[in-house]
Amino acid sequence: MPTLTTVSCWTITASEDIACVTHAAVGDYWAPRVWSGHGLAIAGTDLAGFEKVLGEVMKLPVYWQARARCGDCGAGDAAIWSEPRCDPDDDFVYLSGPCRAGEPTAGYRPVSAFTLDLVNLRGLRIRIAAYRARGTRGLRAPRPRIT
């Protein structure tokens, strides 16, 4: 049975070895952007909530069961993800890594949901936490959300 975790505007449904991530800003400018198989982009103002929901999922048995099934002691390493890069023109933070969303496309596209292998959540969380710990240099003041 899938495990549902919600923090802030993020929801992750974890089942077997896959995490399906959804964001409340479906179809909105601030929706996550994914280049399937290449990486993802998260609005700078959403990084804290995204980091927190990743951490909550990592506390669940489904995450640890997926890691045990993987059998690769290096699974979940941060090296699978690039260092986060902020684009000050659009206020998104980009990470290259194993992220999937629907059909393959050229370039980053707003998505309502995307998937990650559960074992890769740890590395993604490490990269985001390190980026946030360095500060948000380069990010402009958050734009007000229009709901």
Write b or e for each residue in 94-104: b if 16 or more Cβ atoms lie within 10 A of its Cβ, otherwise e: bbebbbbbeee
CB atoms within 10 A of CB 113: 17
Query: Which of 67, 126, 140, 64 is CA-nearest to residue 95?
Result: 126
The first and second tokens of residue 31, run together, are 């929706």
Other C-beta atoms within 10 Å of 76: how many?
Answer: 22
What is the tens place of the pLDDT at every residue in 26-56? Answer: 678 999 999 999 999 999 999 999 999 999 9
Q: What percent of the chain has pLDDT over 90?
A: 71
- Local confidence band at 4 (pLDDT 50, 70, 90 cut-offs): confident
Residues 6+ apart with CB under 8 A from 23: 9, 10, 11, 30, 31, 32, 46, 112, 113
Q: For the ranges 54-63, 68-77, 95-104, which has the lowest average pLDDT?
A: 68-77
The stretch 6-12 carries a mean pLDDT of 90
Q: Quick count: other Cβ atoms within 10 Å of Cβ 31?
A: 21
- Check whether 2 has a pLDDT greater than 90: no
